[in-house]
Structure 1
């Protein structure tokens, strides 16, 4: 009988290890898929960027690579989140998961940890491997072009002296909070629709995001008087607006993750009956 009826760190670590060891084949295949897709896209774009006799101070691929980083993070992140409750889609796998000697929170948290936190590490490794694949191929193909270099992810946000995807750290923070919000929708969708989770969540999420977007526009018009800042008000600073976006994104992501947990807990009780 379990002594800790909510959370035990040793039991949680063992559960995470079990999840990754039992599903190592599918996890490796998904990592190879991410690497393959990004490598093909990078090599294909490099063919058009590097041909010709012109020279550059910096690698002309960097702008595309930084944009591809965000698109890949969001796209593969949503796909990864849709696999969070994949073990609940068949009777055999559902029974196996329900029989694991762990609390519902530990089961949900272990799946969330693997497909949300561990995913970020796996994505970063896959992205860098794809980038170095591009680097090796075109360094051999064009040895005279010494500007070909691995992309510096520090250019995602920072100094305006060179191209950055986001001009400030707050803008990058807002972008990432938006990512976690959208990703949390797919975690929630996976708890509601274990089968075909990605497609169903994408359809429902499109409607939800449009509603959030329209509400956001309405609130912006009310608070900012059709885009004009109140003199001396809290919305006079653009940094304040970015902070509001960051806090709102994190808040709604936490709400969606919490709803996903209670949905999983409810479905577990129903399937045990």
Structure 2
């Protein structure tokens, strides 16, 4: 009986144990999660209310309102930035010696610990961001309708239906999703490598890599004199390339982060 129980605790993945691990990750630091959610909501609310006040202040009754593409683009920038910021907190539980010991003695496999943290900074973040954006959009509508009662009927929510019904909506969502996964995976990997100040160190490393890449491209350009001009890609081919490369690199970074995470259970024990 004892032997059978020991074999169970050494399993690579157990659904019940994984569920308990996810519950612990969500409930124990609930104050931290709540503060981050409120901060995310506050940033989005300030942006949307400010945009609404600037837009509706010059809107005449009966004039149709068209949302600026700049708002959508700015929304994506905030989404990426917050996603990377949350991803950099992947190893925050192991910043201190006490936190490392408490995390390492948790009765779960390394894969279960890693997957629970990954779900928290990826799936849970996306859901929380969507809820925060919805609440911020509701705040914008309520505040602006009180301030500009003469055009209250024209003050509406952000028309996301237009985004999802666009002819190229599938490609756009694919590019956004793959780009987000790629950027998020970089900061997950950076957090595993540098548990302390992961955001700053990962940003610095990416800037250095980007500068080296630009320098290498310039050297190749100077050596060859010009790039080959006979190679063209259609928009669909470019979208496929971006989506494919983004997903491959994201999976590679997540996998590398997992193996580095397993090593950290021994390296960072003391």
**Bin for the TM-score computed over the shorter chain:** 0.7 to 0.9
Max radius of gyration: which structure?
A: 2
Q: Is the 8 A contact 2:178 2:247 kept in 1?
A: yes
Distance 1:2 1:76, change over 3 A: farther
Give how far 1:159 is off: 2.9
Match of 1:232 in 2: none
Match of 1:225 in 2: 228
Distance 1:144 1:215 in 2: 58
Give matches, 1:91-170, under 5 Å.
Answer: 91-145=97-151, 146-159=153-166, 167-170=168-171
Give how far 1:20 is off: 0.6
Distance 1:57 1:215 in 2: 50
Give how far 1:147 is off: 1.6
Distance 1:216 1:245, change over 3 A: farther
Deviates more, 1:199-208 or 1:250-259: 199-208
Match of 1:57 in 2: 64
Deviates more, 1:80-89 or 1:237-246: 237-246
Q: Is the 8 A contact 2:163 2:169 kept in 1?
A: no
Give how far 1:70 is off: 0.7
Gaps of 5+ in 1: 161-166, 230-234
Number of corresponding residues:
257
Q: Which runs of 4+ in 1 moved over 4 A?
A: 209-218
Distance 1:93 1:192, change over 3 A: same
Q: Give the secondary-structure state (helix, strand or coil) at the position aligned to 1:83.
A: coil
Distance 1:184 1:125 in 2: 23
Q: Is the 8 A contact 2:100 2:269 kept in 1?
A: no
Match of 1:164 in 2: none
RCO higher in structure (CA 8 A, sep ≥6): 2
Distance 2:250 2:216 in 1: 17
Q: Give the secondary-structure state (helix, strand or coil) at the position aligned to 1:144.
A: helix
Match of 2:46 in 1: 40
